[in-house]
Amino acid sequence: MRILVTGPNGFIGSALVPRLLSAKRFQVRAAVRNPSVKLPSGCERDLVREIGPDTDWTHAVSGVDVVVHLAGRAHVMRATNQDALDAFRRVNVSGTLNLAAQSARAGVKRFVFLSSAKVFGDSGHYSERDTPVPTDSYGASKYDAEQGLQRVAAQANMEYVIIRPPLVYGPGAKANFKMLIKAIEAGIPLPLAAIGNRRSFVALDNLVDFIVTCISHPAAANEIFLVSDGEDLSTPDLIRRLAAAMSKRPRLLPVPVPVLKTAAAWIGRRGMAQRLTASLYFDTSKTSRLLGWSAPLSVDEGLRRAVAPN
């Protein structure tokens, strides 16, 4: 089975490609923007300069059985203006649907699309049965791409699989996860002990394992999945267990949540406070019920791998 992976040198792609190659039953073709990008031995290379509505994927999708589309414009926390929305739509919507249409014409059998749990916004408890209501440009672009992909696939009789992960952590993770690691390492007091929220996360290796399952599992065809580690954590619990993985003792202070939110608003970090204090968790039982899948790594093992020296 030949697999085309977009974004092969990104955070998720750089873990997925070696996993696919190690399985022996896959031939992997990687679509890269830079010809100097290093790829694992045995991986085919196809140069694609950009992802947009006019990208020519003819050679990349030729002879391919399954496309795993990871590449896209990443979530930018403060991207709220019209220019940001247009940029997200060009890459994440138009770019995805252009690839999907060319894949269908080339005879690709299945299109696996990495969407995001951000289609549900920043707070709440959801399952695949709930209708997404995105609250930012990134989430809106992912949801629009999901809907467009389903239309393209239906017209061409091409299977699709849509995966909505929450925050993905692992070696090389950035943004808030990286900030927490640095704060714990430096022994900085964190005023987060009073937060009683609930958040879903997924370890990089768990997400990769799930993507591999979705590539060929018959029951994954034309389905949407939320995926997580299967254990939800509060923000202080995450910090304590992350610190344990680092053999550190966290310095957590019990500052009331209203005080945290007020202070964050004063310094222009209202969004960060929302992500740290709100609950956002998911019912992922469909993955077990339909695919027989459960996360192979525990949260603690995932955190240990995330902070292990290279």
pLDDT bucket at 289, cuts 50 / 70 / 90:
very high
Region 146-164 average pLDDT: 96
Q: How many residues can be counted in the chain? A: 310
Contact 90, 140 (CB under 8 A): no
pLDDT given for residue 36 in this prediction = 84
pLDDT averaged over every residue in the chain: 92
Residue 109 has pLDDT above 60, yes or no: yes
pTM listed for this prediction:
0.94
pLDDT given for residue 11 in this prediction = 94
Structure tokens given for 294: 């459960």
Residue 295 has pLDDT above 80, yes or no: yes
Residue 308 has pLDDT above 80, yes or no: yes
pLDDT bucket at 309, cuts 50 / 70 / 90:
confident
pLDDT given for residue 164 in this prediction = 98
Handedness of CA 196, 199, 203, 204 (dihedral sign): negative
Residue partners of 212: CB distance under 8 A and separation at least 6: 16, 19, 20, 23
How far apart are the C-alpha atoms of 111 and 153, rounded to whole Å?
Answer: 8
Helix (H, G, I), strand (E, B) or coil at 111: strand
How far apart are the C-alpha atoms of 206 and 42, rounded to whole Å?
Answer: 24
| Residue in 200, 199, 227 with CA at minimum distance from that of residue 212 | 227
How far apart are the C-alpha atoms of 127 and 120, rounded to whole Å?
Answer: 10
Residue 256 has pLDDT above 80, yes or no: yes
Residue partners of 6: CB distance under 8 A and separation at least 6: 13, 31, 48, 51, 67, 68, 69, 70, 71, 99
| Residue in 1, 34, 28 with CA at minimum distance from that of residue 13 | 28
Residue 76 has pLDDT above 60, yes or no: no
How far apart are the C-alpha atoms of 144 and 137, rounded to whole Å?
Answer: 10
Question: Which ranges in the chain belong to alpha helices (H)?
Answer: 13-22, 58-61, 82-88, 96-105, 137-156, 175-186, 204-216, 235-245, 257-266, 270-277, 285-291, 299-307
Per-residue model confidence as pLDDT tens digits over 5-29: 999 999 999 999 999 999 889 999 9
pLDDT given for residue 86 in this prediction = 84
- Strand order, beta sheet including 223-226: 44-47, 27-32, 2-6, 66-69, 110-114, 159-164, 223-226
- 172 or 198, greater pLDDT: 198
Residue partners of 260: CB distance under 8 A and separation at least 6: 191, 192, 195, 273, 276, 277
Active site (annotated) includes residue 160? no
Q: Residue holding tokens 């039953």? A: 25
CATH class, domain 2-164, is alpha beta
Region 115-138 average pLDDT: 94
**CATH 3.40.50.720 spans which residues of the chain?**
2-164
The catalytic position among 126, 138, 143, 169 is 138
Residue 79 has pLDDT above 80, yes or no: no
